[in-house]
Amino acid sequence: MDLQKLEKAKKLQCEIDELSAFLSHDGWKHKFFKIKTDLESPIPLWGGYDFKTYNPSNELKDKIKSAMQDYLADLLAELEEL
């Protein structure tokens, strides 16, 4: 593995670890987060926001968590390809 791939793998692993830890406890919905998705929402998800100041429906929370889990799966697949 060349140096560039090693650096990319380290970065991916860091992001995977962070997202995994974030999703592993029930308090995930009360934290700031970033998400890369096209999920429809009344507020943009790209920059992240705080559920303490915005109280979305449970359905939206479930969609967001599902999208985060899908993104985690994509990161794991990308890391495996390296």
- H/E segment holding residue 11: helix 3-23
67 has a pLDDT exceeding 50: yes
Confidence of residue 77 (pLDDT cuts 50, 70, 90): very high
The pLDDT tens digits of the residues spanning 17-29 come to 888 877 776 555 5
- What is the rounded distance in angstroms from the CA atom of residue 61 to the CA atom of residue 70? 14
The larger pLDDT score, comparing residue 75 to residue 48, is at: 75
Which residue blocks in 24-82 are alpha helix, DSSP H? 58-81
64: three-class secondary structure by DSSP: helix
- What is the rounded distance in angstroms from the CA atom of residue 6 to the CA atom of residue 60? 36
76 has a pLDDT exceeding 50: yes
Distances (CA, A) of 44 to 4, 19, 35, 41, 51: 32, 19, 10, 7, 13
